[in-house]
Amino acid sequence: MEITLTTKDSLADFFSQISPSSELVHILLEDGEHKGLEHERIFYNLPNPLVIESASGDSSRCALRGENCEAFHKDTENRAVLTFGEKCTSVTLKNFTIENTHVKTCDDASLGNQAEAICFHCQTGKLFCDGMSFLSRQDTIHVKGISHFKNCYVTGDVDFIWGYCNYSVFEKCTLHTRDDNRGRDRPAYVLQSRAWNSKPGFVFIDCDFTADDRGKNAKIFIGRSQGTGKPDSLDRWDSIALIDCRISDRYDLALWTDEEGTRAVYPEKGSALCGWREFGTKILHADGTLSDYDTALQEKHGYTMTKEEARKLLELVSF
């Protein structure tokens, strides 16, 4: 099944008309701004393999935008612009933008700060994204299961990538920490991993970590802990790997934070397979030059992989 949707067509309405089967659903989005109803939750929960892509192949010309958040629809699987449910098998998204336009109004997360652009709420399926842009503020991308993001742009300010994944690979992507609209001096975090027990978690390969200038006293970290991971817990492991990535010097050189010991980290020390770890990291300076990362500055829970360990990890997470 193949269909082209104009900006006047409703993606949610089209999803509701599909019968569950093994038939591929292929959607081409015409250029322009595709908007749902106010605070609409666009939800796909079918076994049919799904491909959505822009007709032009240019993410800057084709966007799905809407405002949704915790204040409007409670729980993670309900507050994204676009959500994929537990019945999904294979989802491919190519060359368009998904933006949650919600703007934070206060410090109370229950009043709406959490606002995903995309939620892949499927532990058994696979998600592949190529040439996509994902824009929001807090919790921009949430993933379960297995996912692969290639040549994508992701922006947010707090935990803007997170989830209970087996592994989620970001390859040749740009991860951009933006200003917090409530104040540029607030701490920022790219990731909060709640990976499955003993699984690779979030793996970044040849990626760029960039950031708005939030002032010299701003604290920007690659990752922080959720604080409840344990040896026998099903998930909530703090597993993030950086392989041959470039990180702006606006980020804290510790890379990771347990927020001054207030959040437990598990594994307590990274290893080749799990926990906080890196290999081949470069620091990108304001003048555009690169320098080797000083691994002695890495936070105490972090680990530096060997070249062979990094190679084996790449083999393990091949999509």
Structure tokens at 253: 């050189």
Question: Taking the complete model, does pTM exceed 0.85, yes or no?
Answer: yes
pLDDT score for 145: 97
Q: Provide mean pLDDT across the span 153-165.
A: 97
**Percent of the chain clearing pLDDT 70 (strictly above):** 99
Is residue 210 situated within a structural domain?
Answer: yes
CA distances from 199 to 172, 175, 202, 235, 316 (A): 22, 22, 9, 9, 10
In a domain, 23, yes or no: no
Beta-ladder partners of 147: 127, 168
Encode pLDDT of 197-232 as tens digits.
999 999 999 999 999 998 878 899 999 999 999 999
The pLDDT of 95-112, averaged and rounded, is 84
Domain tally, the chain: 1
DSSP 183-223: -TTS-EEEEEE-BPTTS-EEEEES-EEEE----TT--EEEE
74 in a domain, yes or no? no
pLDDT at residue 110, as a whole number? 57
Rounded Cα–Cα distance for residues 239 and 223 (Å): 9
Whether 59 is covered by a domain: the verdict is no
Cα(223)–Cα(192) distance, integer angstroms: 6
**Is 75 contained in some domain?**
no
Tell whether 171 is covered by a domain: yes
| Residues of the domain holding 230 | 86-316
CATH of the domain at 213: 2.160.20.10
**Domain contains 58:** no
Tell me if 288 is assigned to some domain.
Answer: yes
Q: What tokens were used for 37?
A: 């109803």
